[in-house]
Amino acid sequence: MDSRAIGVFDSGLGGLTAVSALRELLPGEDVVYFGDTGRVPYGTRSAETIFRYASQDVRFLLSHELKCIVVACGTVSSVALPRLLEMTDIPILGVIEPAVRAAVRATKNGRIGVVGTSATIRSGTYREGLLAANPGLEIISKPCPLLVPLVEDGRFSEGCTVTELLVEEYVSPLLKQNIDTLILGCTHYPLLTGIFSKLCGPDVALINPGYEAVVSLRELLSENDALRGGGPACGEHYYVSDSEQQFLQYAEMFLRGPVHGQVQRIDIENY
């Protein structure tokens, strides 16, 4: 048993969808979350800038006593994960491989769509992973650069006309190519599940990478006898690089429940 906490980070609020999955699948675990709300979005940045930001995020999390880190960011998982793995001996899990495995299981016609930030799609990581798993798949990818800012601004509910029109503009070309599975390749996008579902219909499976990453994490911790043991839980700790109040304004919607614990602003540039 291992009572150390699980670290989670993202460029902003999107990684809270992974914390929501942790609450569901690993309810006994303590969580330390960092959202780089002062520098969101990462998806429009260069690869070197993304790595610099992500390495600072990891160094901050490593200032806590952790047993693993979940990179709850599709952009960082796509662009910087191999270099982050060199920073520590504890496991660091991204969201790409778990989502790839789930998509390969889900597809029936072999036509898989991928939506994500510009950096994620440009990296080709999802395409490479999917084709490595099954060279016969057809992958149709689409960058969606405007969705993260809209989600961070709280515009993710059904009935939000601007967001619905953007999702339709981004996804319609993929649907015309008869995809039956769509990877929501950014942890912000599950907040738009209602909009994606309405557009795609019941015959298209939607893959939530943050959730799939937590499924993989549960398997890893179980295999290594590293699930949390007994004793009092410390709960959840939240850190941001910008306004605590802005974080609290939307965090409950990302978590699908209340924020447990304090939210503290830190200067990420110190790491």
**Which DSSP helix (H) or strand (E) runs through 263?**
strand 263-265
Q: For 18-42, b where at least 16 C-beta lie within 10 A, e where not — what string?
A: bbbbbbeebeebbbbbbbbbbbbbb
Q: How far apart are the first and last CA of the chain?
A: 30
Alpha-carbon span 139 to 181, nearest angstrom? 10
What ranges in the chain are assigned the alpha helix state H? 16-25, 47-61, 74-79, 81-85, 96-106, 118-123, 125-133, 147-152, 161-175, 193-200, 209-223, 244-255
**186 is annotated as an active-site residue:** yes
Choose the catalytic residue: 68, 73, 144, 200.
73
- Can you tell me the distance from the alpha carbon of 152 to that of 197, in angstroms, rounded to the nearest whole number? 20
Token pair for 115: 């939506």
d(CA 194, CA 94): 25
d(CA 239, CA 219): 27
**Beta strands at 205-207 and 236-240: parallel, antiparallel or unpaired:** unpaired
Candidate list 68, 144, 160, 186, residue with the active-site label: 186
In single-letter form, the type of residue at position 80 comes to A
Is residue 160 among the annotated active site residues? Answer: no
Nearest of 122, 113, 118 to residue 203 by alpha carbon: 113
Question: Known catalytic residues?
Answer: 73, 186
